[in-house]
Amino acid sequence: MTIIAAIGVVVGSAALLVVLSGFAGLKDFSLQFSSIVDPDLKITPRTGKTIRLKSNALAQINEINSVVSYSKIVEERAVLVSDNKRQIITLKGVDSLYPQNTINSITSLGSWMTPGSRQIVAGWGVASNLSFGVMDYGKILKLYTPKPGKGQITSEKEAFNKISTANIGIFEINEDLDHDMVYADIDMVSALLNYPEDTVSSLELILNSDDSLDEVRDKLYGIFGNNITIKTKEQLNGALHKMLNTENLAVYLIFTLVLIIALFNVVGSIIMMILDKKNDITTLFNLGLTAKEIRQIFFFQGSIMSLLGGLIGIILAIMLVSLQKSFGLIMITSTLSYPVTLKIFNIIIVFITIATLGLLASKLASIRISKSLTRQ
């Protein structure tokens, strides 16, 4: 009975850590597609659509040691027309400082646009929907954005700003962005929207360390005042992070329930041992031990069984996760192994869980020893 109880604790703790590592791997795998183009910090206007840059604002950002680079962004909804097909897209104008490592990681076909040109780089979903390719100069692409203003519209020319362009590359990030986003040069987008040179939709910053986020945020508020909103990479994907964290919590609670059921075996084994050793307990009591001291003996035995079983389970789980990372024992596709990530936080959580529940189970079982039992 004791061996079966110990095996249950080992398997339960190992399963809990393996599942948490699996969900941590899935979280990292999911976020790498959505956060690949997200900056460490993004400055957006608190109200309205644009930020008017002060003459010395960019120079002050350059003086912040933790900022590796920053990019000016002009972003707006637009209509992209190819022959008789059209689609509403998100047009994102970026400057020449847009991170080269991001450009290299997302561009799957063709090349990035030349600064100052009227070229675009479209998502593969947009290119597929509108049936155009890379450097297809025989197909004229047109971008339309609504003109601001009031009054009656009598012609298309009065209603929209228009510019002709050519697609120079295709990018792949994730399904949502691939079917919606089109990159262009910031000067072209600003001209299309009639924005002044010192007006942007946002600023994207890359930092040298996540530890400096709060410090940089405070300095940025000092530069721009309270007219801006600053979001971190996690806040930019708030809904996705919330969903993944909720799933992780749900799985943790489910497998903790399984672990609680396994620990009932510990309670049962201790109670069976108490009944089996009833004569020995009476002898110990007659030799001078109190009921409390005898209870402590069985409490320590149950605690050691739980803690030792939990440690063995954690070691087994670490070995399994390491083997999966190294050799891909379980595959999602023929080329993609199931992602796992071993985190110290999850190991600590599993150990604390098994220790807490094991001590409670041992305490629950040891209270069966009473003075009346010692005298039987």
Distance between CA 65 and CA 285 in Å, rounded? 71
Instruction: Please check whether residue 97 is in contact with residue 186, taking contact to mean a CB–CB distance below 8 angstroms.
Output: no
Judge if 210 and 253 occupy the same domain: no
| Model pLDDT for residues 294-311, shown as the tens digit of each residue | 888 888 888 888 899 999
SS3 48: coil
What CA–CA distance (Å, rounded) separates 252 from 241? 16
State the pTM of this model.
0.76
Give the pLDDT score at 260: 87
* C-alpha to C-alpha distances, 177 to 36, 148, 189, 283, nearest whole angstrom: 11, 26, 18, 76
Do 229 and 244 reside in the same domain of the chain? no
Question: Residue 375 is encoded by which pair of tokens?
Answer: 């005298």
pLDDT at residue 119, as a whole number: 94
DSSP labels, 243-303: HHHHHHHHHHHHHHHHHHHHHHHHHHHHHHHHHHTHHHHHHHHHTT--HHHHHHHHHHHHH
Mean pLDDT per 10-residue segment, the chain (376 residues) = 80 92 88 81 94 90 92 96 94 95 92 93 96 85 83 64 94 92 96 93 92 90 92 86 88 89 81 76 76 83 89 96 92 88 94 92 80 56
Structural tokens at position 85: 């097909």
Can you give the pLDDT at residue 79?
95
Same domain, 197 and 337: no
Please enumerate in sequence order all residues whose Cβ is within 8 A of that of 47, keeping only pairs 6 or more positions apart, or say none: 227
**Domain shared by 29 and 97, yes or no:** no
Angle (CA) 62 64 66, round 5°: 115
Domain that holds residue 343: 2-33+240-375
Same domain, 221 and 302: no
233, 260, 291 — which closes off a domain? 233
Whose tokens are 């070691």? That residue is: 315
CB proximity list for 298: less than 8 A, separation 6 or greater: 270, 273, 274, 362, 365, 366, 369
Handedness of CA 355, 356, 359, 362 (dihedral sign): negative
Last residue of a domain, one of 195, 217, 233: 233
Q: Is 116 left (phi over 0), alpha (psi -120 to 50) or beta?
A: left
Please tell me whether residues 210 and 100 are part of one structural domain: yes
Give the C-alpha separation, 67 to 212, whole Å: 9
Q: What is the pLDDT of residue 193?
A: 93
Last residue of a domain, one of 233, 251, 286: 233
In the block, tokens 């749900």 appear at 250
Report the distance separating Cα 264 and Cα 362, nearest Å.
10
Q: What share of the chain is helix, strand, coil (3-state, %, to 5)?
A: 55, 20, 25
What is the per-residue pLDDT for 335? Answer: 82
Classify each residue of 175-190 as buried b or exposed e, where b means 16 or more C-beta atoms within 10 Å of its C-beta: eebbbebbbbbbbbbb
Q: Do 278 and 346 lie in a common domain?
A: yes
- Side chain identity at residue 268, one-letter code: G
User: Do 223 and 255 belong together in one domain?
Assistant: no
Quickly tell me which residue has 């000067």 as its tokens. Answer: 187
Q: Are residues 25 and 123 in the same domain?
A: no
How many Å apart are CA 190 and CA 196, to the nearest integer? 7
Helix (H, G, I), strand (E, B) or coil at 61: helix
Residues 262 and 143 in one domain: no
